[in-house]
A = this chain, B = another copy of it.
Amino acid sequence: MPSTYRRLKHVVFGRPLPSERLEHERLNKKTALAVLSSDAISSVAYATDQILFVLGGAIGLAAVNYVFGISAVIVGLLVLVGLSYRQTVFAYPNGGGSYTVARENLGVMPGLIAAAALLTDYILTVAVSISGGVAAITSAYPSLTPHTVLLCCLSIILLATVNLRGVRESGAAFSIPTYAFIFMMLALLITGAYRTWGGHELAPLTAALKIDPASARSHPGMSPITGFALFYLLLRGFAEGCAAMTGTEAISNGVMAFKAPAQKNAAITLGWMVAILAAFFLGVSFLAQHYQVMPTTSETVLSILGRHVFGGGPLYYALQYSTFAVLVLAANTAFADFPRLAGILAHDRYMPRQLAARGDRLAFSNGIVSLALVALLLVWMFHGDTNALVPLYAIGVFVCFTLSQAGMVAHWRKTREPGWIWKAFLNGIGAVATGVVSIIQLVTKFTSGGWVIAVIIPLIILLLRKIHRHYEEFAAEIRFTGQSPIHPLHHTVIVPVNSITKATSGALVYATTISDEVVAVYVEVDPRDTARIESEWEAWDIGVPLEVVKSPYRSILKPLVEYVENLRMVTPGELVTIVVPEIVPKRWWEHLLHNKTALYIRTAFLFKPNVVVTAIPYLVGHAYRLREWMDHDEDLDSAEPDDDATIRHDSAS
């Protein structure tokens, strides 16, 4: 019966792997780039859109004039952060997540802030990436738009399933779409460059495209914005565009997932990733500015560019499919990192310890399932709308960047290894820059959703601390301080008896095995039945006394509880075991036909001092007898009067 389930589980999630194979689950550089960089690289599918949306809402089509400049500033920041994380890769070979770095170097509270921000961002990574990926599909096939939420949910469930199978299979499965996206982006940018400078120039899109004025938020009769208002507007565009930088920390978190030499491989992969992301982001923003592309609520910048540059056709659709694929898989970064962080937090007693257990498949199954559920909830609540989710997104990421870089500065000050001043300086610059950006993020996005993050992060911190306090108190309470020997106690066993059956006999065999002092107790509900059971008991003559307890209110439990309490009054400190036969029927509906007496007795005595309740399962209707001693009376009839003959192993199996 359980084997069918197990077989099904193996088909869906793969066969369980022994711990020694953990080493072989590690990734080479090419696979690691696909798995760990998809989040960062795929940001180009929505980052440019975000800048244009914010600027377009205020200054209409004039927005396209600023998009390349803003993107260039962001790329500068990206390079700075990339260099900073390169140092973390070498300093933390076991994975230098923001939580670890901040907690080790800055203290518990900064660590918890980083943890809360990271947890929030992993969830948003899944929700934003999946909805962005589905937007690539609905841009190509507008008729699918009504099914957005369904498509998002199916993608999340698919991802969770793949991840429950384990990391390496994920890597193999994910390499193809990531490299397909890189290839299609290169095709787009090269074709665009060729058309621009190779003498095959296309007309700007403003003339050809019918832009929906409402959705692009452009106001034709708008007066030009200047001075501080323009500065603040560009700042908002910059803050939204920073969504391009999300995922940059993934490689430094996952150093231990690389094949040896892990740190060197991780650093090289990090370099590739930053280069690819910078090139793509600048390229897309350049083309958007060059062709004056304005996104609408129903079509993304990348889709518009693809249609224009490729002129539609197979190449355009290949771009959209690969965008969908890489964004769905970007969510995979979170599926790798969220359970890992939850596991670290659980190990540090800030999260339920179940999350620290590796599943059969070397993946942190519980964390994967939790992440998928919360992401499904988010997608359902926001109707799979990327533009509604992104404002919440980058804030937490930059909080983590800041805490992580600041922690690295403290780290270098402590270690003082050769060249530490230069390293501390680099991380210090990174910390200040990302710190300033964090503030910009929070201020400019506060009213458009940022406040939610400002509420949720403290709540998560409170929860983590509450869990921690419980585990600390629990550990203190359960701590075994003495070194005293273990002494057996004085022990009485009580067997509640209703009639003489094999189940009763089995319970009595067990009772006499565990103690010399056994009492059978009969709760008298109807006095007319008492004489019968008493005479049957006397006839049985097994040397166990039968006590009759009256129950004027027809309750079975209360007289039993009172009986045990009286027993303890007579002999204080007495250990009492109540042995109850528990009927386990074969078919589910038969459970309805039997009282759950064992369960009720267990519950009634849960809070009573020094009472242990032991249920002896008696399986009804099974072809074989599981507890052989319950049948021993029948065996005896045909056997020699030999005590040991009452138990025969061959009658089981």
Of all chain B residues, which has the CB nearest A525? B19
Q: How many copies does the complex hold?
A: 2
A636 contacts B480, C-beta separation under 8 Å: no
Which B residues are CB-close (under 8 A) to A543?
485-486
Is A360 in the interface zone, CB < 8 Å from B?
Answer: yes
Which B residues are CB-close (under 8 A) to A486?
505, 508-509, 512, 542-544
Could you tell me the distance between the alpha carbons of A229 and B650 in the complex, rounded to whole angstroms? 77
B501 contacts A352, C-beta separation under 8 Å: no
Query: How many whole Å from A494's CB to the nearest CB in chain B?
Result: 14
A512 contacts B484, C-beta separation under 8 Å: no
Could you tell me the distance between the alpha carbons of A620 and B607 in the complex, rounded to whole angstroms? 11
Which B residues are CB-close (under 8 A) to A555?
16, 360
Q: Could you tell me which residues of chain A, from 498 to 556, have a CB within 8 Å of some CB in chain B?
A: 500-505, 508-510, 512-515, 525-526, 539-544, 552-555
Is A618 in the interface zone, CB < 8 Å from B?
Answer: yes
A484 contacts B575, C-beta separation under 8 Å: no
A480 contacts B509, C-beta separation under 8 Å: no
Could you tell me the distance between the alpha carbons of A206 and B504 in the complex, rounded to whole angstroms? 75
Is A24 in the interface zone, CB < 8 Å from B?
Answer: no
Is A143 in the interface zone, CB < 8 Å from B?
Answer: no
B18 contacts A634, C-beta separation under 8 Å: no
Could you tell me the distance between the alpha carbons of A513 and B516 in the complex, rounded to whole angstroms? 11
Could you tell me the distance between the alpha carbons of A503 and B474 in the complex, rounded to whole angstroms? 11
Could you tell me the distance between the alpha carbons of A16 and B610 in the complex, rounded to whole angstroms? 29
Query: How many whole Å from A559's CB to the nearest CB in chain B?
Result: 12
Is A148 in the interface zone, CB < 8 Å from B?
Answer: no
B540 contacts A483, C-beta separation under 8 Å: yes
Q: Could you tell me which residues of chain A, from 7 to 62, have a CB within 8 Å of some CB in chain B?
A: 16-20
B629 contacts A610, C-beta separation under 8 Å: yes
Stretch at the interface among A301-309, A328-336, A448-456, A590-598: A590-598
A573 contacts B485, C-beta separation under 8 Å: no
Could you tell me the distance between the alpha carbons of A647 and B541 in the complex, rounded to whole angstroms? 34
Is A186 in the interface zone, CB < 8 Å from B?
Answer: no
Could you tell me the distance between the alpha carbons of A508 and B488 in the complex, rounded to whole angstroms? 9
Query: How many whole Å from A284's CB to the nearest CB in chain B?
Result: 45
Pairs across A and B, CB under 8 Å, 14 listed: A20-B552, A477-B620, A477-B621, A480-B502, A480-B505, A481-B633, A483-B633, A484-B646, A514-B577, A573-B649, A606-B617, A607-B619, A609-B626, A610-B628
Given A473-B621, A484-B633, A612-B616: 19 more A-B contacts, CB < 8 Å: A18-B553, A19-B526, A353-B594, A360-B553, A360-B554, A474-B621, A478-B502, A479-B501, A480-B501, A480-B502, A480-B505, A486-B512, A489-B647, A510-B575, A573-B648, A609-B628, A609-B652, A610-B626, A612-B614
